[in-house]
Amino acid sequence: MAGHPPVIVHPPSPAGARRVTVRGRIVGLAHGRGDVAAFLRAAGLVPEGEEAELDQPDLIEWRGGDLDTWR
């Protein structure tokens, strides 16, 4: 899996939620940026108390839109 980011945020569902996977495992449904940041912290990818940088392509792959795409 070299070259692939550990986090994938999948395309929005019709209801607007986006499935989030970390290293191939579903960690939950995000309804906004804050949820994605919380999943990164829970997975140990962002230290507690630090700002999650959601626009890092080496960390997160956004599918079906970018970090501003929520229906």
Q: Is residue 11 part of a domain?
A: yes
User: Is 18 within a domain?
Assistant: yes
Name residue, tokens 């986090």.
7
Would you say residue 1 has pLDDT above 60?
no
Q: How many structural domains comprise the chain?
A: 1
pLDDT tens per residue across span 3-54: 789 999 999 999 989 999 999 999 999 999 999 999 999 999 998 889 999 9
Sign of the CA dihedral 14, 36, 21, 60? Answer: positive
pLDDT at 71 over 90: no
Q: How confident is the model at residue 3, as a pLDDT? A: 74
For residue 2, what pLDDT band results from cuts at 50, 70 and 90?
A: low
How crowded is the C-beta side of 61, counted as CA atoms within 13 Å? 12
The residue segments making up the domain with residue 17 are 7-62
